[in-house]
Amino acid sequence: MNGKSLRVYFTTHQDGRLTGQLLPVWDSFFDAPPPSAYGTRESEVYALLETRVRQLLLEDSSALDRFLWEETLEARTLTVEIHPQTLHQKRPVIAKALIPLRLTYVYGKLESGAWRVRVPRFGWSFVLEDLSIAREVLRSALTTALLGENPKSLYDFRHEGEEYVQAWDPGGLRQDARRDSREERPAEVLDQVGEELTSRALGGRQPPLVYDAGAMREWLELVRRQPLPSLLLVGGSGTGKTSHVLMLARRIAELRREDKTARLPDIWRTSAERIVAGMVYLGMWQERCLKLVDALSFEDHYLFVDRLTSLLAPQPDGSSIGDLLLPAAMSGEISLIAECTEAEFERCQRRFPEALRPFRVLRIESPVASRMPELMLRYQSVRRSRVSIHPVGMRQLVGHLETFQRDSLFPGKAFRFLDWLDQQGERGTTRTLYPRDASEAYARYTGLPLQLISDEVPAERTALASQLQKGVMGQEQACELAAGVLARFKAGLNDPDKPVGTLLFAGPTGVGKTELSKQLARTLFGNEDRMIRLDMSEYMLPGSAQRLMEVGPGISSLAERVRRQPLSLVLFDELEKAHADVFDLLLGILGEGRLTDHLGRLVDFRMTVVCMTSNLGVEQSEPAGFGAERGAEDFLRAIRQAFRPELFNRIDHVIPFRRLSEGDVLRIVDLELEKAASRAGLLRRGLRLVVDADARAWLARHGHEPMLGARPLKRLIEARVMAPIAVRLAADARLEGVSLPVVVAGSEAERRLGPEQRALATVLDHEGTRT
């Protein structure tokens, strides 16, 4: 590469995985995003990056030129304190408080003596005369980037984890892509697709590990046997299947150090992705598999292939890696270590029983909760954590993890939380978490509100109902019933094998059913972005229910979204429009809190709130006007008739929504006008929206329709109030610091307007809006 090499910028995420991205030497507006990859470890990221780079070179042989560096780069993390923008009395002000933001940048010295500085996470690049001014330059850049933004923008700058840069020279990439078809000697293929774990353990290049000494003694007895048995590790997500293999490699390395003559196997780690990486032509990956078998043939070494399901997944030509490796394992020619969950194991027993025949099954059980404080202390010790947790706080954390993260198992979910905890705060500082601090830290980690997870913070049902009613007008009974679900969740009395709550909102259009779902998401998860909304009119046709279970890159199905964020609210909007196949899927979700995706993997719904809306029971011939009521029994009767008994009986509450009264619509008008008055364009100029009682009544009367509820109200306010004001502001850039009256044509308020006020007024009448 003519003395130049690539630079890969790594970011460690909270789940322990890594993102690697090639650093460009220069950027231009039309450049494509740099190649990047996401994996569980560096070797996997490098393998995926190599595949992407090879594909890039096949399209353009000079594509790598802008990624080739001569300078030596280093990464440095610093804390920059800024003053965020906030609101005071609905006006934007720069806050007095200083918010510390952790920022990692990379730097290298140029031949001229200047310093090149890049902030890869945000695409910033500077050339500095002296590196000592980097902190001030970055602080200025941060302040400029956040100026005028919502305070929530600060979360875009949160510190993910360790960030570092490494030089990478894969060799031969810039030569003709046809060299990918060159001959590989069997001995070389192991180095190309794998890493030898025992030598890494000797070099101290393994993460901190906590293990069961008794189980490890049994494992060591197994690997001393001849012939070497293939092993299949079966356990749930978080039980430590991979960690057991890493610990086995470490113990083998330690025993070899003690006894040079010990006959113990090497463990080579690879994955399906690494095996096929760079294999772009027909037959290449199959040839690589055969050479893997040749390299390991009767060598008494292990090939750790990660997930068994990845071996069995078909490649583009229809065959799988398992078709080539498993027969060799069956004959004893090679020895494999693979892992899978219990559900994947059961699926393999049904569909691929021959694939399990070479393996001896070892089940990895999750430790009981009572053991976790001890294991967490041991993990902190080997990790040399600077965070100490009070014993009561430790037990409290174990309770939170057990109650609120049922999609994962101990010890993995506890260790991930401790990793996240170590990444918070200043490096080099030691701190102690007491019970209240531990609950607050867990609330930040999950997004759950403290009042719902901590026994020390009360949350009465009436207070929760009042919180819901702030955004839902006129539905006091519905808010009370929904608050009961939250209270049951806080008390820990909800069924642990079902969703947190299953609610069916029944009532006319435009009365607040969807808005109550949003309020529930805000109250329970702190953000309405945690709501997954599915319009059932899109799932009316036969076969459309299968889209809910699709998985794969770029797919945003229900299964994928809940797997990524198990703590969420799922809204099935207008449920009665869905095909009957959707109801079959709902039986499993509502009854057992789980859904099986297309790959046979279980998706955990036990920490979701499932809401459904329906218009069943609403007669189309109801009289027009305000306050037309329907009894709850009418909704129940219509819903019982529409849905099968086994589905209806899985619903916790059918919550009726009444039609809105005149007073309800007036309160909704006030709520919408308050939102409109807080828009940035008005606040920036110091403009105040003044709407008198007659104008509010006019908006309530014209923004409500018996068949649509208050749904037309937002459109009316936009068209009759905000659009005319926007036209006036666009035409007069000097208009600021005044009141903008909104009055009804011919009203007493309009007649009292002076000449200056009349020029600024928005006048509502039946024919339109006059300004």
Q: What are the residue boundaries of the structural domains of the chain, listed by start?
A: 6-168, 183-363, 369-453, 461-656, 662-770
Closest to 165 in 3D by CA, of 101, 102, 108, 80: 108
CATH topology for 461-656 is: Rossmann fold (3.40.50)
Same fold, 183-363 and 662-770: no
Token pair, residue 127, equals 């050339």
CB 486 within 8 Å of CB 523: yes
Query: Picking from 2-11, 362-371, 649-658, which range would have the lowest pLDDT averaged per residue?
Result: 2-11
pLDDT band at 160 (very low <50, low <70, confident <90, very high): low
Encode pLDDT of 206-240 as tens digits.
Answer: 777 887 777 888 999 999 998 999 999 999 999 99
Encode pLDDT of 419-431 as tens digits.
Answer: 999 988 766 678 8
Tokens 């435009």 correspond to 510
pTM of the entire predicted model: 0.71
Q: Is the peptide bond before 435 cis (omega within 30 degrees of 0)?
A: no
Counting Cα atoms < 13 Å in the Cβ hemisphere of 685 gives 20
**115-119 vs 501-506, strand pairing mode:** unpaired
Q: So what's the pLDDT on residue 693?
A: 94
CATH topology for 662-770 is: Helicase, Ruva Protein; domain 3 (1.10.8)
Which ranges of 265-404 would DSSP assign to H, the alpha helix? 272-276, 284-296, 308-312, 322-330, 342-351, 353-356, 372-383, 391-404
Counting Cα atoms < 13 Å in the Cβ hemisphere of 84 gives 16
Highest-pLDDT range among 156-160, 514-518, 630-634:
514-518
Counting Cα atoms < 13 Å in the Cβ hemisphere of 410 gives 20
Tokens 């060159």 correspond to 182
- C-alpha–C-alpha distance, residues 340 and 105, integer Å: 38
Encode pLDDT of 301-310 as tens digits.
Answer: 999 999 999 9
Mean pLDDT of the chain: 87
CATH code of 183-363, in short, is 3.40.50.300
Q: In 3-state terms, what secondary structure has residue 726? A: helix
Mean pLDDT throughout 153-165? 66
Sheet holding 124-128, edge to edge: 74-82, 99-109, 115-119, 124-128
pLDDT band at 180 (very low <50, low <70, confident <90, very high): very low
CA 550 to chain centre: 17
pLDDT band at 96 (very low <50, low <70, confident <90, very high): confident
